[in-house]
C-alpha cells in the first residue's frame, strides 16, 4: 500500500515565490523517512490500467475556482 498526501504549503509557496516544487508526497508507510515527491501521479487498477490521475500545475489554474491540483478520472460514484 502507498500513502499519498498533498502539501498545501508547497502549493502556496510556489504561487508566491514562483518556484515549482512538487506538492504530491508518496510514501510506503505513514512515517516513511524517504518519500517520493511528484507533480503528477497515475492511480492504477489491478491490471495496471490508469483509472485516475492527480495533476498539479503551478502556472495554469486547472478549474475556475483557482485549483492548481486536481484529481482527473472518468467514472465517479458519489457516496454519502
State pLDDT tens for residues 16-46.
Answer: 999 999 999 999 998 888 999 999 999 999 9
Calpha distance 13→19 (Å, rounded): 7
Say what the pTM is: 0.84
Calpha distance 38→69 (Å, rounded): 12
Q: What is the pLDDT of residue 78?
A: 85
Calpha distance 14→20 (Å, rounded): 6
Calpha distance 55→18 (Å, rounded): 18
State pLDDT tens for residues 40-79.
Answer: 999 999 999 999 999 998 877 767 787 889 999 988 888 8
Amino acid at each position: 500500500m502507498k500513502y499519498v498526501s498533498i502539501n498545501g504549503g508547497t502549493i502556496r509557496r510556489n504561487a508566491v515565490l514562483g518556484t515549482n516544487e512538487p506538492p504530491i508526497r508518496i510514501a510506503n508507510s505513514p512515517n516513511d523517512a524517504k518519500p517520493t515527491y511528484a507533480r503528477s501521479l497515475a492511480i492504477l487498477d489491478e491490471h495496471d490500467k490508469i483509472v485516475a490521475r492527480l495533476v498539479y500545475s503551478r502556472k495554469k489554474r486547472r478549474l475556475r475556482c483557482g485549483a492548481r491540483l486536481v484529481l482527473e478520472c472518468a467514472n465517479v460514484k458519489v457516496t454519502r
